[in-house]
Amino acid sequence: MDIEPLLSRAAELIRTARHLVVLTGAGVSTPSGIPDFRSARSGLWEKANPFIVASLQAFRVRPQMFFDWIRPLVRVFLDAVPNPAHLALAHLEQMGWLKAIITQNIDALHQKAGSSNVIEVHGHVREATCTRCYDVVPTETMVPQFIERREMPRCAKCGGILKPNVILYGEELPYQEINDARHQAGTCDVMLVAGSSLSIAPVADLPFIARANGARVIVINQEPTPIDSQASLVIRADVAVVLPRIVSLLIARTGCRTIRGN
């Protein structure tokens, strides 16, 4: 299928946008080697069900099981680098079109790529919080203890267990972040959904909020999503290939390589 007309249409929708917001999911980070936790293809399902070992209840009752499961993934997160999709979105922000990224990903690759206004609705792996005294520490301080000595990470102040600042299944989403995400969805005139299956509420509701407020929705995802029938444009392709091409088309049409005036 020739997707060039679709890419051209996407570039035009972005070019005419007053307030572009992007919602990203696992499909943006899988090209960087980050596994998709909800995909059977990732291999994570073969050894343990993430819905069980990565739930808040499981962490409270059997924290060792959680840390044994996530230990191999921590090094993947630490070593991952932004791929062309992350870099293209950072470029869109630098050019002045992109106002905010709402991400379900916890790997901070958007920030590593250069994006500044990133709303992390599922938390992040940069810090951990003590479950006893609530002291917050950088996760990089946990690496020798957790990765090299294979010990459960504990607080240096009180000895309590350190929980990474990621949202586990059954845990409330961060209040400020989800409110910011809803605000962005309600005020944007174009929302680009990239690499998300939109299968987990309440994040899955955001494109519908945008659409209800008159925004046009662009979907770039390998698989169908619930918003497809209401989207202005649906592109079934790899985001790491499509997003840089859309940015290139935008540059060609506008000559803009740096920050666009508001």
Q: What Å distances lie between residue 257 and 7, 56, 221, CA to CA? A: 18, 44, 26
Active-site residue flag, 124? no
Residue 224 in tokens:
């169908």
**Residue 34: alpha-carbon gap to chain centroid:** 11
The SS3 call for residue 235 is strand
Who contacts 48 (Cβ-Cβ below 8 Å, separation ≥6)?
69
CB 223 within 8 A of CB 249: no
The SS3 call for residue 22 is strand
Q: What Å distances lie between residue 140 and 30, 48, 82, 124, 189, CA to CA? A: 22, 25, 19, 13, 39
**Residue 73: alpha-carbon gap to chain centroid:** 16
Residue 183 in tokens:
């605000």
DSSP for 137-185, written as a single string: EEGGGGHIIIIIS-PPPB-TTT-PBEEEEEPPBTSPPPHHHHHHHHHHH
120 DSSP β-pair partners: 103
Catalytic residue among 110, 122, 124, 183: 122
Helical axes 239-254 vs 84-95, angle rounded to 10°: 30
Catalytic residue list = 122
